[in-house]
Chains A and B, each alone.
Chain A
Amino acid sequence: MSQRNPENRPHAPTPEQRSSIILDEVTVVIGLEVHVQLNTAAKLFCGCSTEYGAPPNSQTCPVCVGLPGTLPVLNAKALQLAIKTGIALECEIARHTKWDRKNYFYPDLPKGYQISQFDQPICGPGHLDISDPKGRFEPRCVRIERAHLEEDAGKSIHDETDRKGKSKIDLNRTGTPLLEIVTRPDLRSPAEAKAFLTELKLILSYIDVSDCNMQQGSLRCDGNINLHIPFAGTTIATPIVEIKNMNSFRNAERSLEYEIGRQFQQWQANGLTIDDAPKQTRGWDDSTQTTTLQREKEDSADYRYFPDPDLLPILVSEEQIAEISSQVITLPSAVRKRLQDEFGLNAYDADVIASQGPSLVTYYLAVAAGCGNGKTAANWIGQEVLRHLNEHEWTIDNYPVDALALTQLLTKVSEGELDQTRGKEVLDEMVRSRSSLDAAIETLGIVKVDASELDELCDQLIAENESIISQIREGNTKAVGALIGKARKINPNANPGKVRERLLAKIGIA
């Protein structure tokens, strides 16, 4: 299909009509293709390790480098993880599936074909629901079209220092099991696309099928996007663009945003529709924050798919599906609901906890049960603990304060033994010096202030702050706050509530 002149089509909008349409009237249509590396120990069709970061080509064998005479043997674990993902996404699981060869030449594809699934994916139609706890978009059910298993290709490393540079091939990744999850074009904004990716990643971590590490390439995403423009009672669709290399969720959102603007401008300038121009592949360039043209597909590439004669078709039994279903117990949507229903959290706080993944949820549940107050636990974990995790790039699994220690700390706070501020200082100290609760309290020199010390402190405050005292006497009780600040400087262990109470009594207000 070559470019046609849209002006020749009857009822096409004139340039003037095009420029009168504003972007707010336009519907954005986005579909995503997500490649997820499944966290099996071995590759999909051989016994090589899938560990990331080993020296180039050290994790290869005759099978995954495609030596003559070698044959693939399926790693059943990968199939299980694919089915598990399908169940979590409420996909139809195929009872009969097979392997196909996708033929193309590339130096990092050793066999000259990729073993994939063409017309009988292991996971058929399903869906994933997204919503925004801050309400920036309406909840949406995003339909999953399919999810199929395939083997990953290797990595080409191109020397870009000069044009004659050599290219190097690392085949460690070759044969790593990949699940390609394809959505229907149901997403209506970049924010929804980002929310979909975030929720998908969360689900995958809850069911433990992938580490979803985007830096290491274990989760990769391409997006298809075009615009539906209302005109004269019909809809005009702009040419579809596939964006590659959206290598972080933030970049996914930004590149889709950029593409909306670009496509709209293009259409206003040339009026080309989906019927006039071929599908384009564009790449996101992080440095310029733009997408650039990679290739125009006249027709979809001819991969000459056919059933792989080296592998047997797969039959999936009801028992197998039941067994795997029983492993898919907790999903983030269920956790959010439980945190609201059982622990009284609001939607936002519940989302903060659930979004951190299953380990943090377990931690939260232990603290909430231990201290008997779900909201307090959510506040401390959502603010203090997450701050520490972010600062140190930790996960909850290597956080130095375990659930029991945090529970004890929160108990001291709720019983008034420590005030909030002191409590947070204690938590900081426990993290800083990786010490126990008692040791941190001792390090900070926290001791109980007895009644006579409190009296002495209040007398000193009254003696030294005549003007504030007179303001309080005149009825401005808020001014007592200033005295409490001064009290903390004199004796940081003084409980602000008790200082306030005693002061007011001494002044004669209470």
Chain B
Amino acid sequence: MDLAQHSARQLVQLMSAGEISTADCVDFFLARIEQNKSLNAFVDIEANSQAELAELARRQASELDASYTAKQSTPLFGLPIAIKDGICTKSTLTTAGSKMLQSFRSPVDATCIHRLRDASAIPIGKTNMDEFAMGSSTENSYWGPTKNPFDHSRVPGGSSGGSAAAVAARLAPCALGSDTGGSIRQPAAFCGITGLKPTYGRVSRNGLIAFASSLDQVGPMARSAEDCALLMDVIAGHDPGDSTSSRVACEHYSDGINDSIDGLRIGVCRSFFGEGLDAEVGDAVEHALQQLKSMGATLVDVELPHSKYAVATYYVVAPCEASSNLSRYDGVRFSYRHTDESLDSMYAESRGHGFGAEVRRRIMLGTFALSSGYYDAYYLKASRMRRMIKQDFEDAFKSVDLIAGPTTPSTAFKIGERSADPLSMYLADVYTVAANLAGLPAISLPCGFDENRLPIGLQLQGPAFSESNLLRAAHQFQLNTSWHAEGPNNKPTGEAK
């Protein structure tokens, strides 16, 4: 039995039925992680945190096996899951891809991890990421870049690039990522998997190492929308430990996905298909729209007039919040300390050496934008623009149920190609940041390949708390297409050409 080809849902069914043991399942994926170390999808540090977590996973699996009864009913029984390293897991290392946290062990699990464990899921590894989730390529990691399983010379996207690569390469059936400006959807698109950024407040941020608190959201990454729904049913919901967590009742996502999309009104924003969009990506997305239409959806043109300001707005709001959120990494307590010659040199040297270039750049941007005399021109203006972007969506969703378009303007780029040009890197987020600014849910799912057989992502965005609709549309699309089932190994990779 090749467990790698099973969906998360199938694996849970097999283990729940006692057809395979959770220990065998965990061992299978741990072995795949070990065999594919060259991808650098997992954070595997000198301290050997992967080995530690693997040991914990094996113990958890054997405990589940020991207490197994045919009547067990936990929703994720024995399911191995990869966790982005910016999400706190008790007792093992949580580094957020940073030297600053190279030896940080959280005393507590994040709320989403707690919920996963309660559902009998088994975290099997911490995945690589751009440092503090700042980046779109996973090149900004202290632990080195992750490779795209479809082409090892290319980036997997970011910041949840490790999670995306792990799922695409079948090193884990599913993963958790976090999305501040596209960090789940953009790597999902680059790696040919499905990733959902939930509505702000839908999944608790408690235990997610903060990048930009008003934008950050934890979400599922898997090979299918169906598996994303399976995870959402566990991780979503109110958490009294997160004041920004919503009290709106959750739908049962796995139940909702089976309904047809007949009559669904899908908005298409034509300005997304203009300059800057790679022609092959545009074609694939157009085909996907026609596919949705053939399944009974109606396509309606919508306008989002302020979306052209989304990237600029995002790169004020996110760095401002980050500059404050990252102040706690000062060398005093748990974080990297370079010197303790004097207080000022401890701060300057520890932060100068502990943070990478992109993180330092954004801290400086944010510090500047919040400074007295600049606050109104930057933070306040960006906050106003943010409200207008949100209003655009609210207006558009009066006439459509969701909005479809490309997730990214291009397919995965080469490692190193954009590192020297931050602006070109920031434009990788051009279609994704608006959902974060507006706090709305959005999903990316595979809808084709370019001539290099690099995956292309279709993005669906919906009104607040419409995850069920997004997952339904994505699942129905996947019932009628096979893009999501195509793995990196079906054909030779670009590297092998």
CB–CB A66/B108 < 8 A: no
Do A105 and B347 form a contact, CB below 8 Å, given A112-B328, A302-B372? yes
User: A475: CB under 8 A from chain B?
Assistant: no
Q: Are B324 and A69 in contact (CB under 8 A)?
A: no
Is the C-beta of B242 less than 8 angstroms from some C-beta in chain A?
yes
Query: Once the chains are docked, how many angstroms separate the CA of A69 from the CA of B372?
Result: 28
Does A11 interact with chain B (Cβ within 8 Å)?
A: no
Bound complex: CA A73 to CA B324 (Å) = 18
Q: Is A312 an interface residue (CB 8 A)?
A: yes
Tell whether A423 is near chain B: CB-to-CB under 8 Å. no
Contacts of B274 in A (CB 8 A): none
Taking the closest CB of chain B, its distance from the CB of A441, in whole angstroms, is 62
Chain A residues with Cβ below 8 Å from B242 are 71, 73
Q: CB-CB < 8 A to A65: which residues of B?
A: 333
Q: Is A68 an interface residue (CB 8 A)?
A: yes
Chain B CB within 8 A of A306 CB: yes
Segment of B206-214, B262-270, B404-412, B443-451 in the binding face: B206-214
Tell me, yes or no, whether B479 is within 8 Å of chain A by CB: no
Given the interface contacts A73-B241, A302-B371, does A68 sit within 8 Å of B94 by beta carbon? yes
CB <8 Å contact, A105 and B243: no
State whether B243 touches A74 (Cβ < 8 A): yes
Please provide the 3 A-B residue pairs with the shortest distance between their CB atoms, ordered closest to farther.
A112-B327, A309-B214, A309-B213
Interchain CB contact under 8 A, A73 and B240: yes
Partner of A103, one of B106, B327, B347: B327
Q: How far is the CB of B334 from chain A (nearest CB, A)?
A: 7
- Show the binding face of B for A, using Cβ within 8 Å: 87-88, 94, 96, 101, 104, 106-108, 110, 205-210, 212-214, 240-244, 320-321, 323-324, 326-328, 330, 332-334, 343, 347, 367, 370-372, 375, 379
Which residues of chain B are within 8 angstroms of A111 by Cβ–Cβ distance?
327-328
Is A107 on the interface with B (CB-CB < 8 A)?
Answer: yes
Q: How far is the CA of A73 from the CA of B205 in the complex (A)?
A: 12
CA distance A74 to B242 in the complex (A): 10
Complex contacts, B96 vs chain A, CB 8 Å: 68
Residue in chain B with minimal CB distance to A73? B243
Q: Which residues of A contact B375 (CB under 8 A)?
A: 304, 306
Query: How close is A134's CB to chain B, nearest CB, in angstroms?
Result: 46
Given A306-B320, A310-B213, A311-B243, A112–B110 Cβ distance below 8 Å?
A: no
| A-B pairs with beta carbons under 8 Å apart, 30 shown | A62-B106, A62-B107, A66-B328, A67-B107, A67-B334, A69-B88, A69-B208, A69-B209, A69-B210, A70-B206, A71-B205, A71-B241, A71-B243, A72-B243, A101-B324, A103-B327, A105-B327, A105-B347, A107-B330, A107-B343, A111-B327, A111-B328, A169-B332, A304-B324, A304-B370, A304-B372, A304-B375, A309-B214, A310-B210, A312-B244
Chain A contact residues: over half helix, strand or loop, or mixed?
loop
Which residues of chain B are within 8 angstroms of A107 by Cβ–Cβ distance? 330, 332, 343
The answer to whether A382 has its CB under 8 Å from any CB of chain B is no
Which of A101, A112, A304, A311 has the most B CB atoms < 10 Å from its CB?
A304
User: On chain A, which size bracket covers the interface?
Assistant: 20 to 34
- State whether the Cβ of A284 lies closer than 8 Å to any Cβ in chain B: no
Which residues of B sit under 8 angstroms from A299, Cβ to Cβ? 372
User: What CA separation (Å) do A112 and B323 show in the bound complex?
Assistant: 10
B381 → A minimal CB distance (Å): 13
Q: What 14 additional pairs, Cβ within 8 angstroms, besides A68-B334, A306-B370, A310-B210?
A: A65-B333, A69-B88, A69-B207, A71-B241, A103-B323, A103-B370, A105-B347, A107-B332, A111-B327, A112-B324, A113-B324, A305-B370, A309-B244, A311-B243
Q: Contact string, A288-310, partner B, CB cutoff 8 A, digits 1/0? A: 00000000000100101110011
Whether, in the assembled complex, A133 has its beta carbon less than 8 Å from a beta carbon of chain B, the answer is no
Q: How far is the CA of A499 from the CA of B326 in the complex (A)?
A: 86
- Give every chain A residue within 8 A of B347 (Cβ-Cβ): 105
Contacts of A217 in B (CB 8 A): none
B324 A62 Cβ-Cβ under 8 A: no
Q: Are A68 and B328 in contact (CB under 8 A)?
A: yes
Note all chain A residues with C-beta closer than 8 A to B214.
Answer: 309
In the bound assembly, the distance between CA atoms of A28 and B208 in angstroms comes to: 53
Residues on B with beta carbons closer than 8 Å to the beta carbon of A492 = none
Q: Is A110 an interface residue (CB 8 A)?
A: yes
What per-residue 1/0 map shows which CB atoms of A83-114 lie under 8 Å from chain B? 00000000000000000010101010011110
Query: Which of A305-355 touch B at CB < 8 Å?
Result: 305-306, 309-312
Indicate which residue in A72, A103, A311 contacts B324 across the interface (CB closer than 8 Å): A103
A110 CA / B331 CA spacing, docked (Å): 10
Contact A68 B324 (CB under 8 A): no
Indicate if the CB atoms of B209 and A68 lie closer than 8 Å: yes
| A71 close to B206 (CB less than 8 A) | yes
CA–CA, A72 and B206, complex, Å: 9
How far does the Cβ of A259 sit from chain B's closest Cβ, in whole Å? 28
How many angstroms between the C-alpha atoms of A69 and B325 in the bound complex?
Answer: 10
A139 to B327, CA, bound (A): 48
Given contacts A74-B243, A107-B343, A312-B243, contact A68 B106 (CB under 8 A): yes
Complex CA–CA separation, A139 to B227 (angstroms): 74
Q: How far is the CB of A99 from chain B (nearest CB, A)?
A: 10
Complex CA distance for A104 and B106, rounded to whole angstroms: 24
CB distance from A76 to the nearest CB of B (A): 12
A92 to B213, CA, bound (A): 31
Q: Are A310 and B88 in contact (CB under 8 A)?
A: no
Question: In the complex, how many angstroms separate the beta carbon of A61 from the nearest chain B beta carbon?
Answer: 9
A305 partner residues in chain B, CB cutoff 8 A? 370
Give the one of A62, A113, A310 with max B CB within 10 A. A310
Closest-CB distance, B338 to chain A (whole angstroms): 15
Contact A110 B208 (CB under 8 A): no
Q: How far is the CA of A304 from the CA of B372 in the complex (A)?
A: 6
- What chain B residues lie within 8 Å of A66 (beta carbons)? 328, 333
Bound together, the chains give a CA A65 to CA B367 distance in angstroms of: 23
Closest A residue, CB atoms, query B368: A304
Whether the pair A69, B110 counts as a contact (CB closer than 8 A) is yes
Task: Please measure, in the bound complex, the distance between the C-alpha atom of A73 and the C-alpha atom of B243, giving whole angstroms.
Answer: 6
Chain A residues lying within 8 Å of B104, measured Cβ to Cβ, are 68
CB distance from B181 to the nearest CB of A (A): 15
Bound complex: CA of A107 vs CA of B328, how far in Å?
10
Chain B: CB-nearest residue to A171? B333
Which chain B residue lies CB-closest to A312?
B243
Q: Are B243 and A67 in contact (CB under 8 A)?
A: no
Q: Which residues of A contact B94 (CB under 8 A)?
A: 68-69
Rounded to whole Å, the gap between the CB of B43 and the closest CB of chain A is: 15
Determine the chain B residues whose CB is within 8 A of the CB of A112 once the complex forms. 324, 326-328, 330
**A68–B240 alpha-carbon span in the complex (Å):** 18
In the assembled complex, how far is the CB of residue B244 from the closest CB belonging to chain A, in whole angstroms?
7
Chain A nearest Cβ from B178, distance in angstroms: 11
Which of A68, A113, A169, A311 counts the most chain B CB atoms within 10 A? A68
Residue of B nearest to A103 (CB): B324
CB distance from A69 to the nearest CB of B (A): 4
Question: From residue A368, how far is it (CB to closest CB) to chain B in Å?
Answer: 50
Closest to A68 in B: B209
CA–CA, A105 to B243, complex, Å? 25
Within the assembled complex, what's the spacing in Å between the Cα atoms of A112 and B321?
13
Q: Which residues of chain A are near B206, meaning CB under 8 Å?
A: 69-71
**0 or 1 for each of A240-283: is its CB under 8 Å from B? (1 = yes):** 00000000000000000000000000000000000000000000
**Docked pose: A304 CA to B94 CA in angstroms:** 29
Partner of A69 from the list B106, B330, B367 (CB cut-off 8 Å) is B106
The interface residues of chain B lying within 8 Å CB-to-CB of A310 are 210, 213, 243-244
Q: Which residues of B contact A304 (CB under 8 A)?
A: 323-324, 367, 370-372, 375
Chain B minimum-CB-distance residue to A101: B324
Contact partner of A68 (CB less than 8 A), chosen from B88, B323, B379, is B88
With contacts A68-B88, A68-B104 known, is A306 near B324, CB below 8 A? yes
Q: How far is the CA of A85 from the CA of B146 in the complex (A)?
A: 56
Q: How far is the CB of B145 from chain A (nearest CB, A)?
A: 23
Give every chain A residue within 8 A of B210 (Cβ-Cβ).
68-69, 310
Contact B371 A110 (CB under 8 A): no
Bound-state Cα–Cα, A101 to B375, Å: 14
Scan residues 115-135 of chain A and give those whose CB is less than 8 A from a CB of chain B: none
